Amino acid sequence: MDTFALVVTIGVALGFTYTNGFHDSANAIATSVSTRALTPRAALAMAAVMNLAGAFLGSGVAHTVSKGLIETPEGSKGMGILFAALIGAIVWNLVTWYFGLPSSSSHALFGGMVGAALAGGTNVIWSGVLDKVVIPMFLSPVVGLIVGYLVMTAILWLFRRSNPHKAKRGFRIAQTVSAAGMALGHGLQDAQKTMGIVVMALVIGDVQGADDPIPVWVKIACAVMLSLGTYAGGWRIMRTLGRKIIELDPPQGFAAETTGASIMFTTAFLFKAPISTTHVITSAIMGVGATKRINAVRWGVAKNIVLGWFITMPAAGVVAACAFWVVDLAFL
């Protein structure tokens, strides 16, 4: 196997992780910044550190990505498929970042994998795609919406007799913890997705076996790149999540972040399902906002976000397929 192709593919995978970091940094900290619980730079630094820590908490999501979605392709064509999948995901991340649309980096990657695999003639494990990607893609936002609504309702009831100003100050402090939990869950989920891709590249390149553990250097490299991307920030998307859906106060921000973090940890440890942090936190914000009144949520903005969710996988898949055909013509 061409070592140069392996190095390039791993380099592009780490580049995707960087775009994932700045694209999805808003997921962890937008609510804390919008409620002024944390300054933007302090929030980004905290998120970067917690992303790094979260990447070392497990490996179930990485194994799902490396073994459960497409059959591991072989040879130079296999490396071309991985390369094209990553290009499709990166391009879609950059497009949605430019327009400030909080789409899912995870589903951009999965769409790229499926699109490149189909273009390259590699079998797609449709049962895995359905069970681990499509069903969670529809269920996680619904769960986030409902749980966010219930958590916020419980907070309103528990603190119904509290002094509003004191309660808001307390929740502003509590948001530091809930934002850290979101960032930890983001590292647990999203760093592992790239680990799975790098492991596939190593298997294709005959550097390691399919059942070997994830090398420590892979974990460190993916975690560091995700953290660097997170610290770079994603201000366009942060404004969408933090302000355009609904104006959040500290109790609402705490409820949304607690909901999102809980769902991410549950799905990673119990189901090994690579869910979208974007889907979870966005739907949680909508559910929390709906407790104020239904029309407090700017449903027009929410509709555009949901539309982005549905087109992410096919759009990234088309880009990845085109990228594979170009690579196939030029190099394979």
pLDDT of residue 245: 52
pLDDT of residue 241: 52
pLDDT of residue 297: 67
Angle in degrees, CA 151, 268, 132, rounded to 5: 105
- Cβ of 227: how many Cβ atoms within 10 Å? 28
pLDDT of residue 302: 66
| 59 SS3 class | coil
- The structure's pTM equals 0.88
Query: Which residue range(s) make up the domain with 157?
Result: 3-330
How many folded domains does the chain comprise? 1
HSE-up of 84 (CA within 13 Å, CB side)? 32
**What tokens does 145 get?**
């919406």
Q: Which stretches within 187-276 are classed as H helix?
A: 192-204, 216-232, 235-239, 250-266
- Cβ of 100: how many Cβ atoms within 10 Å? 16
Backbone torsions φ then ψ of 38, nearest 5 degrees = -135, 150
pLDDT of residue 214: 92
pLDDT of residue 25: 66
Each residue's pLDDT expressed in tens, for the chain with a length of 332 residues: 578 899 999 999 999 999 988 777 666 677 777 777 887 778 778 888 888 898 888 888 888 898 889 998 888 899 999 999 999 999 998 988 887 776 788 899 999 999 999 999 999 999 999 998 889 888 888 899 999 999 999 999 999 889 988 998 999 899 989 989 988 998 888 889 999 999 999 999 989 988 899 999 999 999 999 888 887 765 555 555 545 555 678 999 899 999 999 999 998 888 888 888 878 888 898 899 888 877 766 666 667 667 777 899 999 999 999 999 999 998 76
Cα 269 to its chain centre, rounded Å, is 16
